[in-house]
């Protein structure tokens, strides 16, 4: 007796994803990053300055609030990915979570706008992280659900480009709205603008595109113990996934270490006359070169049918760029480093995402597994300050910091060669 065919939701896709689908998914992804980075870049800092109790530094308030949100993010992404894997809605596995996450994220941003105490601010930001991670986990899992392997580099490039544009758009919305109506009114307006963008950006994908349906009889049982146990993947049983995770974590950690104290580097080491303006210029250079390579790198990787060389040489290029910050401590050196970091990270963003989708153990658990992989993006943002502060203060200053960042990134790039199942 022949085994029944797997439903569409659990099969490897063979039809190329259309431009409309890719554009709608990219827009939804960009909208999520607007909801994150409008607050992270501008609004939370303004709010922390307003709400910090007497005798408490605003920097401490901001660190506590964002740290709590980072913990929620690391737990919620794989959790919601696992829940979406088990969703047997007639609207598909991912779309309900994109919709719920976008609406919930917008509501959480509105709640955060009205926070008038530090605990209220922390609660609001944790809810933003919780809900937007539900949407992000589903958006990420939609790519291996719908995109064949030979197209994932290009699609990953467009999704990555939308992420960068979302960071820029969120910062711009928060900046423009934050200048209106005084400080408190500006913060509220900024949150409301980001909330509206989240909903509007997710709407085209939710309304216009069909998501493959998981039949109810193929849905894994939803048991809490099994669900929690599934939030760990044994790297001995799945070594390719383990090496891919470690590669991504180390390259992201090296990048986070390189960017964390950029303002202080310009002010204290290069003695730049306008450190803030310098950071803005370096960010612009980095963004331009990143956007110039993120789609091209993914497309080229699809054309040649290989991932490892692109990830390896992107990591090496980022190592060279970080080494420039350690060894060529001048303003032209910083500009060259920013440009090279953008080129390397652009290629890495799209190609490594495609590589990750190709080492997933099972189609039934794509959401959960990609959620676990996304921890390799979030955890470096928590680890970088812990590592960087003692290095700068006690272990040799910025030359050592950037040397360590270069070494960490290079180790990550070299470890991609340990992956056996993807060329």
C-beta atoms surrounding 91 within 10 Å? 14
C-beta atoms surrounding 121 within 10 Å? 24
- State pTM to two decimals: 0.84
- The predicted structure's pLDDT at residue 184: 64
- The predicted structure's pLDDT at residue 34: 93
- Tens-binned pLDDT, residue by residue, of the chain (423 aa): 445 667 777 888 888 999 999 999 999 999 999 999 888 877 888 888 888 888 877 777 887 888 888 889 888 988 999 899 989 888 999 999 999 999 999 999 999 999 999 999 999 999 999 999 999 999 999 999 999 988 989 999 999 899 888 888 888 888 777 655 445 677 899 999 999 999 999 999 999 998 888 888 777 766 666 666 666 677 788 888 889 999 999 998 998 888 777 777 888 888 888 876 777 788 788 888 988 899 999 999 999 889 999 999 999 999 999 999 998 989 999 999 999 999 999 999 889 888 988 888 877 778 888 888 888 887 887 787 778 878 877 888 888 989 999 999 999 999 999 998 887
One-character DSSP codes across 264-316: HIIIIIS--S-HHHHHHHHHHHHHHHHHHHHHHHHHHHHHHT--HHHHHHHHH
Task: Convert the pLDDT of each residue in 313-354 to its tens digit.
Answer: 999 999 999 999 998 989 999 999 999 999 999 999 889 888
| E strands, 12-51, in order | none
Domains and CATH numbers, the chain: 17-229 (1.20.1250.20), 239-418 (1.20.1250.20)
313 class by beta-carbon count within 10 Å (0-12 exposed, 13-18 middle, 19+ buried): middle
Which residues lie closer than 8 Å to 371 by C-beta, 6 or more apart?
A: 77, 78, 79, 80, 81, 82, 137, 140
- The predicted structure's pLDDT at residue 62: 81
Given a contact cutoff of 8 angstroms between Cβ atoms, the answer to whether 315 and 126 are in contact is no
C-beta atoms surrounding 28 within 10 Å? 29
- The predicted structure's pLDDT at residue 316: 94
- The predicted structure's pLDDT at residue 182: 45
Distance of CA 42 to CAs 38, 167, 175, 356, Å?
A: 6, 11, 7, 32
- The predicted structure's pLDDT at residue 224: 64
- The predicted structure's pLDDT at residue 168: 83
- The predicted structure's pLDDT at residue 422: 82
- The predicted structure's pLDDT at residue 231: 64
């Amino acid at each position: 007796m022949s085994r029944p065919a797997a439903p569409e939701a659990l099969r490897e896709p063979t039809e190329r994803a259309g431009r409309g689908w890719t554009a709608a998914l990219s827009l939804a992804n960009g909208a999520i990053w607007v909801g994150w980075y409008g607050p992270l870049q501008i609004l939370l800092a303004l709010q922390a300055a307003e709400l910090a109790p007497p005798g408490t530094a605003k920097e401490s308030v901001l660190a506590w609030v964002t740290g709590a949100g980072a913990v929620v993010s690391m737990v919620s992404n794989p959790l919601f990915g696992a829940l979406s894997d088990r969703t047997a809605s007639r609207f598909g596995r991912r779309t309900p979570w994109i919709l719920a996450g976008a609406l919930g994220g917008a509501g959480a941003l509105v709640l955060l706008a009205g926070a008038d105490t530090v605990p209220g601010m922390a609660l609001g930001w944790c809810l933003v992280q919780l809900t937007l991670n539900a949407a992000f986990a589903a958006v990420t899992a939609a790519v291996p659900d719908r995109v064949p392997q030979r197209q994932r580099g290009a699609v990953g490039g467009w999704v990555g480009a939308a992420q960068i544009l979302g960071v820029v758009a969120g910062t711009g919305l928060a900046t423009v709205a934050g200048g209106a109506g005084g400080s408190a009114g500006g913060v509220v307006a900024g949150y409301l603008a980001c909330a509206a963008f989240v909903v509007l950006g997710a709407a085209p994908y939710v309304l216009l595109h069909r998501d493959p349906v998981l039949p109810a009889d193929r849905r894994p049982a939803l048991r809490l113990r099994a669900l929690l146990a599934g939030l760990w993947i044994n790297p001995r049983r799945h070594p390719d996934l383990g090496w891919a995770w470690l590669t991504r974590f180390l390259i992201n950690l090296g990048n986070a270490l390189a960017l964390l104290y950029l303002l202080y580097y310009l002010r204290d080491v290069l003695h730049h006359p306008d450190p803030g303006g310098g950071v803005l210029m370096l960010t612009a250079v980095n963004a331009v070169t990143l956007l110039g390579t993120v789609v091209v790198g993914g497309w080229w990787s699809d054309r040649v049918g290989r991932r490892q060389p692109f990830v390896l040489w992107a990591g090496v290029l980022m190592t060279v760029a970080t080494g420039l910050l350690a060894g060529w401590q001048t303003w032209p050196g910083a500009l060259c480093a920013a440009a090279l970091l953008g080129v390397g990270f652009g290629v890495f963003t799209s190609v490594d995402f495609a590589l990750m989708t190709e080492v997933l153990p099972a189609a039934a658990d794509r959401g959960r597994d990609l959620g676990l992989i996304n921890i390799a993006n979030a955890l470096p943002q928590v680890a970088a300050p812990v590592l960087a502060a003692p290095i700068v203060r006690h272990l040799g200053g910025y030359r050592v910091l950037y040397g360590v960042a270069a070494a960490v990134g290079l180790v990550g790039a070299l470890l991609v060669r340990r992956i056996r199942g993807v060329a």
